[in-house]
């Protein structure tokens, strides 16, 4: 029962970085109230014990994961869980009548076989895969309106797709020439401990990983293929940058004509007109990750090269905001018929 | 003329880090509207040119510094200027009938001679030094109410004073035993270029500077002397940490009795009751700088040592928020008779 | 007059990062003695004043730039000067009978017109451009033997060329398909102060710069064209990583056949047989920049993708060692007929 | 059997940061040959698998821990093991006739009861505690000469003791006034994974830990008490700096007279005369951690304050070199009667 009149939200996976970012961002949402923070691993403990930055802000103990209990406390659930966990939990939440925004990768692919190939565990049942709306807001926002179940795009996917789709849809770039060289801050790897996220191994280091093997590849290709109408296969490299937040996708494609940077700026500004979270930079200006840090913006810039006939597209986001928690709230806003910017008016934190 | 009914604010020094942080924080203040962003060095240029993170958020050209023009556009002025500049500008602004919150150090000391000794240029005229209210909100908040002219405390001073005052006032620590070992992120040095803030010189490096010579020493001593009733002289070391934001003051003092950590927690919680921006941590828990990053909190923890009879007090803030722009807005809230938290409900950005 | 029997070396530009790295590395060279450290800007001052890490190690005042004086003190000169300066100085040094290893970019291009297009100042006279040997040791080492004048390759160029040449020479990759996505630590920008190297602007940030405009492009294309026999034009992006040392070039090319990773490993190990500073990693293993930090190694790994027919080649170096001072000493070793590893037996500093 | 004539060394704990640093430094030691790299956890695997920076440099599989086997292969053993492990292993190695330099803390305290209080596990047998020479080279070097068993000082202890001893021995500082505010890079916490060393938790963060509880306290007090002749108890705070390498101890003490900075410089230069690894900086100059990074130096500077009668002493080391592997080799040099600098001529890596 809601006494505030606000939409009641539960967050599953509240002790991961996506979960605590949802908490941070929702503190200032005028129409949403967090009524349950949920963690399978730490149920019963005060959330500020593991996250002292929330001291005095969220004075709440973590709840366990129980679909029926959640349904009694919340109207909508954000599932910021590891892949494999959502596959099982989300159907229960939907059956219980809850709206769901799923931040795991479990419902992003329409093809269960492809899911199993890239994620290495069994796919959710096909009906849920088909029901899930892939919530890339600025591209598929109209599908989100009124939906009950959103699959929130991956962080790399969000940066990459927003940077490629207008040009691909316009036929300006060759669909079989796309190379994505992506770089991410370490928070994208989550809060789990491993040598891969050990400070002394990451600091003053730059490394590539999962080249052509990252699980965000199939959702990128699925979406680009839908946009293009032709089967798109991308070369995709991910790198780890010694910083906490931020993703840059530097993307290369052969052009189908002699377009220059201003042409691209015009095309993209037209495509993203009325969508304030995508900022297309002036010709000759490329965005840096810090310029969107802590905010829900995706900034895009271009460099065309007449010598090679290729365009270089640079797209940046904060991986935990636009790449996760921020876009999830933006999706919920769209589901509810609210302005997509509601509660998301965060200016980037700079420096 | 204000059509919004909001308080109109101008920011002098909008192209420094304190200035752009004021812009960030004021975006979400319900009762304040920025009507002029001012920079002597870049007047005429769009602010987003030098600070692309503001693209599409603040679409405004920088104004020049002219007290009369400012008075036509604003009700209150934040002067985030280098020391020496405010000394000249602030009297003009006050004469023009504006409220002023000064973030420079020019009006923090009551004794002009002392100012000249530490700041190495001529002091402002004494009447302004006496008029200025030293705006350490949680200690002198009642002086701020209704004031027209606030001198905003220094970043090191804020962290250090909030950590020392309750114990000193209670007589629990020896006034002649205080040692402050302070550490700051690099943003405290401002946006000016120099070898001291060169990335390759700072990264993977830790250095001490201005030992016993920092210009925040006299305001700390002036305030502690007022609180204690006895002349207080501190040992004060500043260090540069390879990070952008954050200050920690680790403070040492001999105790006048056998107090333990819980005693200190109780004392400080009583002192800061009703002041939400100071978070006194549970006994045995020490705060880290990232736990307040991007927010207006000052978090404080204690370690007492029966072996030596000393207490170690750890106090952390975000130097640009509670140590500058955030406390300035908090002061303005108090000046206006608003709740001190208004427009400052920022959860720390973590991680 | 040399009493030690060692080769006497002078370093012009001793107060830049390339210069001090030469000093560090040469300390342990058994056959070279530094007899003059030279700086136009700081002549007369002790070098340890600006570089306190050299305290007690190099107790020497900086000399001014005078070709005749240098000739009296040294047998060989390393010119670690800004581009434009070497263009004028090197001919004087060569005339004075000195051997020269030039670390600026002034003598890397054979075509003066191309130099002027990319460097934006007048080219050195053509005879010196032709005389200079482009000292990419593992590729053109035999040209270096006995030479008097070496132009040391650029940092980006070294990482990129060593990673591309074996495959291009073998005809395994399409010469018109090469894309180089390069990332560098900040030390590559030198010790000069600017907003671009300001700690607070770089830390927790990742940015692209000079896309398709970097002055290392023409030397890469000149060399690849020589190797390939066909005119090679590359797409080349440079990024700044929030770290001090290290370069990674992630390179993409279409393959002319169905080669797999082991094929590439075999090809490259054969090409670099007997050249210990290039370490070709096992199939499936990609190098990270920290794994060569402080050392003269260039490590290379591969990922082939049958889906797209492209190979991704990852090449890493320490930009100040293999990308500057280390390769310069390696070149001098080759000039003198010594083993190329002499005095360069530095194990990477890890972590 | 040694064919090279070199001293044969084994390293137990070769997969920790202390162990790999011993490997790095010993590569260039003219009189020592590594004949076994030992790891209980990874025995059988090539060391370059876990430490790719050693590719092609140390082509050796890890051996298991077996005192008899070690005795067959080595003359001296470095035990870079966790505390508690050395306590059991070292006696076996000594019994087997090996020389031992122990880098764990197990043999630093002479009083077993005190060991158990701070380390929380059973102390080694008393005879070994008494036999072990506390190898603070510049202070107790003469005890090391000819010894068979050295206990290598802790990293915090080395920086702190070298900075305090000359003044304390001279009676210039009050023995009951010593406060040590120490800061360390993250490598000091070792390679084990935990939230405490998670990149996203450490980066852009500064935290205090183990205040007055760090296990290096008793060895500092034991040594200062021996030097002073009076029971010394210190206040000791440790902080974690977002960097990999480096320790700074900022130390405070009341002075017994009106000494100035030059007095301290003179006193310390006299004390450390002939000991090249301690560099006493000129009056007014304080060292930074990067100025000793990668090297075996300990740099010390002073700030005296006539206002408070206190001196601030700043001492920096590279925690893995002078604070661990470097000092261990320095100790071995002394044990063997060699020059203490042998094989340790590493210039700090800067920047």
In tens digits, what is the pLDDT along chain C, a chain of 351 residues?
Answer: 445 689 999 999 999 999 999 999 999 999 999 999 999 889 999 999 999 999 999 989 999 999 999 999 999 999 999 999 999 999 999 999 999 999 999 999 999 999 999 999 999 999 999 999 999 999 999 999 989 999 999 999 999 999 999 999 999 999 999 999 999 999 999 999 999 999 999 999 999 999 999 999 999 999 999 999 999 999 999 999 999 999 999 999 999 999 999 999 999 999 999 999 999 999 999 999 999 999 999 999 999 999 999 999 999 999 999 999 999 999 999 999 999 999 999 999 999
CA distance D173 to D253: 6
D253-293 residue pLDDT tens: 999 999 999 999 999 999 999 999 999 999 999 999 999 99
* Residues of chain D that touch chain A, judged by Cβ-Cβ distance less than 8 Å: 17, 185-187, 191, 193-195, 197-200, 202-204, 242-244
Which residues of A are identified as catalytic? 155
Q: Show the DSSP H helices in C32-190 as ranges.
A: 47-50, 67-73, 85-95, 112-119, 126-131, 137-144, 155-169
The single residue of B100, B155, B317, B344 carrying the catalytic annotation is: B155
Task: Measure CA A307 to chain center.
Answer: 35
Strands C235-240 and C207-209: antiparallel
Task: Give the start-to-end residue ranges of the domains of chain D.
Answer: 7-131, 156-319
What CA–CA distances, in Å, run from B262 to B265, B268, C310? 5, 10, 64
Question: What pLDDT does residue A2 have?
Answer: 47
8 Å CB contact between A267 and B29: no
What CA–CA distances, in Å, run from B160 to B106, B157, B228, B276, D59? 19, 5, 15, 18, 53
Q: Which residues of A touch C209 (CB under 8 A)?
A: 286
Q: Tell me the pLDDT of chain D averaged across its residues.
A: 96
Nearest chain B residue (CA) to D199? B351
Tokens 């002086």 locate to: B143
Asked if B24 and A292 come within 8 Å (Cβ–Cβ), the reply is no
Question: What pLDDT does residue C2 have?
Answer: 47
Question: What pLDDT does residue C1 have?
Answer: 43
CA distance B186 to B188: 5
8 Å CB contact between B246 and D204: yes
Tokens 């990070």 locate to: B243
Q: Which residues of D touch C294 (CB under 8 A)?
A: 294, 349
Distance from CA of D274 to the nearest CA of B (A): 27
Touching subunits for chain A (3+ Cβ pairs under 8 A) = B, C, D
8 Å CB contact between C345 and D28: yes
Touching subunits for chain C (3+ Cβ pairs under 8 A) = A, B, D
Asked if A205 and C233 come within 8 Å (Cβ–Cβ), the reply is no
CA distance A321 to A298: 10
In tens digits, what is the pLDDT along chain B, a chain of 351 residues?
Answer: 445 689 999 999 999 999 999 999 999 999 999 999 999 889 999 999 999 999 999 989 999 999 999 999 999 999 999 999 999 999 999 999 999 999 999 999 999 999 999 999 999 999 999 999 999 999 999 999 989 999 999 999 999 999 999 999 999 999 999 999 999 999 999 999 999 999 999 999 999 999 999 999 999 999 999 999 999 999 999 999 999 999 999 999 999 999 999 999 999 999 999 999 999 999 999 999 999 999 999 999 999 999 999 999 999 999 999 999 999 999 999 999 999 999 999 999 999
pLDDT above 70 coverage of chain D, percent:
99
Residue B273: count other Cβ atoms within 10 Å of its Cβ.
9
Q: Which residues of B touch A29 (CB under 8 A)?
A: none
Question: What pLDDT does residue D2 have?
Answer: 47
Interacting residues of C239 by C-beta distance below 8 A, sequence separation 6+:
A183, A248, A250, C181, C182, C183, C184, C206, C207, C208, C209
8 Å CB contact between C74 and C96: no
Asked if C198 and B199 come within 8 Å (Cβ–Cβ), the reply is yes
Question: What pLDDT does residue B148 have?
Answer: 97
Q: Which residues of B touch A316 (CB under 8 A)?
A: none
Question: What pLDDT does residue A4 have?
Answer: 65
Number of CB pairs, chain A paired with chain B, less than 8 A apart: 83
Distance from CA of B324 to the nearest CA of A (A): 14
CA distance C315 to C250: 7
Closest C-alpha among C302, C299, C303 to residue C317:
C299
Nearest chain B residue (CA) to C53? B201
Distance from CA of C292 to the nearest CA of D (A): 6
One of 3.30.1490.20, 3.30.70.270, 3.30.360.10, 3.40.50.800 is the CATH number of D156-319, namely 3.30.360.10
CA distance C59 to C71: 21
The single residue of D22, D93, D155, D311 carrying the catalytic annotation is: D155
Question: What pLDDT does residue B2 have?
Answer: 47
Three-state DSSP at A126 gives helix
Residue A310 has pLDDT above 60, yes or no: yes
Q: Tell me the pLDDT of chain A averaged across its residues.
A: 96
Q: Which residues of C touch A250 (CB under 8 A)?
A: 181, 208, 237, 239
Distance from CA of D254 to the nearest CA of B (A): 10
Interacting residues of C127 by C-beta distance below 8 A, sequence separation 6+:
none
Nearest chain A residue (CA) to C177? A308
Nearest chain A residue (CA) to B293? A53
Question: What pLDDT does residue B4 have?
Answer: 65
Distance from CA of C63 to the nearest CA of D (A): 21
Q: Which of C20, C28, C204 sits opposite D345 (nearest CB)?
A: C28
Q: Which residues of A touch B281 (CB under 8 A)?
A: 52, 55
Q: Which of D187, D200, D204 sits opposite A200 (nearest CB)?
A: D187
Nearest chain C residue (CA) to B200? C244
Asked if D205 and B288 come within 8 Å (Cβ–Cβ), the reply is yes
Asked if B195 and C198 come within 8 Å (Cβ–Cβ), the reply is no
Nearest chain C residue (CA) to B195? C193
CA distance C210 to C214: 5
Three-state DSSP at C103 gives coil
D138-187 residue pLDDT tens: 999 999 998 999 999 999 999 999 999 999 999 999 999 999 999 999 99
Q: Which residues of D touch A243 (CB under 8 A)?
A: 203
Nearest chain B residue (CA) to C52? B201
* Range D188-214 average pLDDT: 96
Q: Which residues pair with D254 in a beta bridge?
A: D310
Q: Which of B212, B246, B312 sits opposite D211 (nearest CB)?
A: B312
A220-237 residue pLDDT tens: 999 999 999 999 999 999
Q: What's the full length of chain D, in residues?
A: 351
Compute chain C's Rg from CA coordinates.
20
Asked if A250 and C241 come within 8 Å (Cβ–Cβ), the reply is no
What CA–CA distances, in Å, run from B110 to B78, B219, B227? 20, 9, 15
Q: Which of D186, D193, D244 sits opposite A195 (nearest CB)?
A: D193
Asked if A191 and D195 come within 8 Å (Cβ–Cβ), the reply is yes
Would the CATH topology of C7-131 be identical to that of C156-318?
Answer: no
Q: What's the full length of chain A, in residues?
A: 351
Asked if B205 and D246 come within 8 Å (Cβ–Cβ), the reply is yes
8 Å CB contact between C24 and D349: yes
What CA–CA distances, in Å, run from C44 to C10, C16, C40? 15, 16, 10
The single residue of C155, C178, C224, C278 carrying the catalytic annotation is: C155
Nearest chain B residue (CA) to A190? B351
Residue C233: count other Cβ atoms within 10 Å of its Cβ.
18
Q: Show the DSSP H helices in chain C as ranges.
A: 17-26, 47-50, 67-73, 85-95, 112-119, 126-131, 137-144, 155-169, 199-202, 217-228, 261-271, 326-336
Q: Which residues of B touch C351 (CB under 8 A)?
A: none
Question: What pLDDT does residue A1 have?
Answer: 43
Asked if C203 and B244 come within 8 Å (Cβ–Cβ), the reply is yes
8 Å CB contact between B72 and B35: no
Asked if B24 and A350 come within 8 Å (Cβ–Cβ), the reply is yes
Reply yes or no on whether D298 is catalytic.
Answer: no
Asked if D244 and C55 come within 8 Å (Cβ–Cβ), the reply is no
Task: For the domain made up of B7-131, give the CATH fold.
Answer: Rossmann fold (3.40.50)
Distance from CA of C52 to the nearest CA of D (A): 6
Residue C261: count other Cβ atoms within 10 Å of its Cβ.
19
Distance from CA of D276 to the nearest CA of A (A): 29
DSSP H or E stretch at residue D77: strand D76-79
Q: Which residues of C touch D299 (CB under 8 A)?
A: 52, 55
- Side by side, the strands of the sheet bearing A7-12 are A32-38, A7-12, A76-79, A99-102, A149-151, A133-134
Q: Which of C205, C237, C293 sits opposite A288 (nearest CB)?
A: C205
Distance from CA of B319 to the nearest CA of C (A): 13
Q: What is the value of ipTM here, to two decimals? A: 0.97
Confidence of residue D4 (pLDDT cuts 50, 70, 90): low
CA distance B177 to B234: 8
Burial class of residue B69, CB neighbours in 10 A (0-12, 13-18, 19+): middle
Rounded to the nearest 5°, which phi and psi values hold at A207?
Answer: -140, 150
CATH class as words, domain C156-318: alpha beta
Touching subunits for chain D (3+ Cβ pairs under 8 A) = A, B, C
């Amino acid at each position: 029962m809601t006494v505030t009149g606000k939409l009641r939200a539960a967050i599953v996976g509240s002790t991961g970085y996506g979960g605590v970012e949802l908490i941070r961002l929702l503190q200032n949402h005028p129409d949403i109230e967090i009524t349950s923070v949920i963690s399978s691993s730490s149920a019963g403990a005060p959330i500020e014990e593991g996250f002292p930055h929330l001291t005095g802000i969220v004075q709440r103990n973590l709840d366990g994961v129980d679909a029926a209990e959640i349904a009694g406390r919340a109207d909508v659930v954000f599932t910021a869980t590891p892949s494999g966990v959502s596959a099982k939990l989300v159907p229960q939440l939907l059956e219980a009548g809850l709206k769901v925004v799923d931040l795991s990768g479990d419902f992003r692919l329409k093809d269960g076989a492809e899911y199993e190939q890239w994620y290495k565990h069994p796919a959710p049942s096909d009906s849920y895969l088909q029901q899930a709306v892939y919530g890339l807001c600025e591209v598929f926002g109209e599908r989100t309106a009124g939906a009950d179940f959103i699959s929130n795009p991956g962080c790399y996917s969000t940066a990459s797709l927003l940077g490629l789709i207008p040009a691909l849809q316009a036929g300006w770039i060759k669909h079989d020439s796309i190379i994505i060289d992506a770089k991410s801050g370490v928070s994208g790897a989550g809060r789990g401990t491993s040598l891969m996220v050990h400070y002394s191994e990451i600091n003053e280091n730059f490394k590539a990983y999962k080249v052509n093997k990252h699980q965000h590849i199939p959702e990128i290709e699925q979406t680009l293929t839908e946009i293009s109408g032709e089967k798109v296969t991308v070369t995709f490299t991910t790198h780890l940058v010694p910083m906490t937040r931020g993703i840059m996708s530097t993307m290369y494609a052969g052009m189908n004509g002699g377009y220059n940077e201003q042409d691209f700026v015009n095309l993209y500004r037209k495509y993203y007109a009325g969508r304030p979270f995508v900022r297309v930079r002036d010709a000759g200006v490329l965005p840096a990750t810090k310029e969107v840090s802590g905010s829900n913006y995706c900034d895009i810039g271009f460099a065309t090269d007449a010598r090679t006939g290729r365009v270089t597209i640079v797209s940046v986001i904060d991986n935990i905001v636009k790449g996760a928690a921020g876009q999830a709230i933006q999706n919920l806003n769209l589901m509810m018929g609210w302005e997509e910017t509601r509660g998301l008016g965060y200016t980037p934190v700079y420096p």
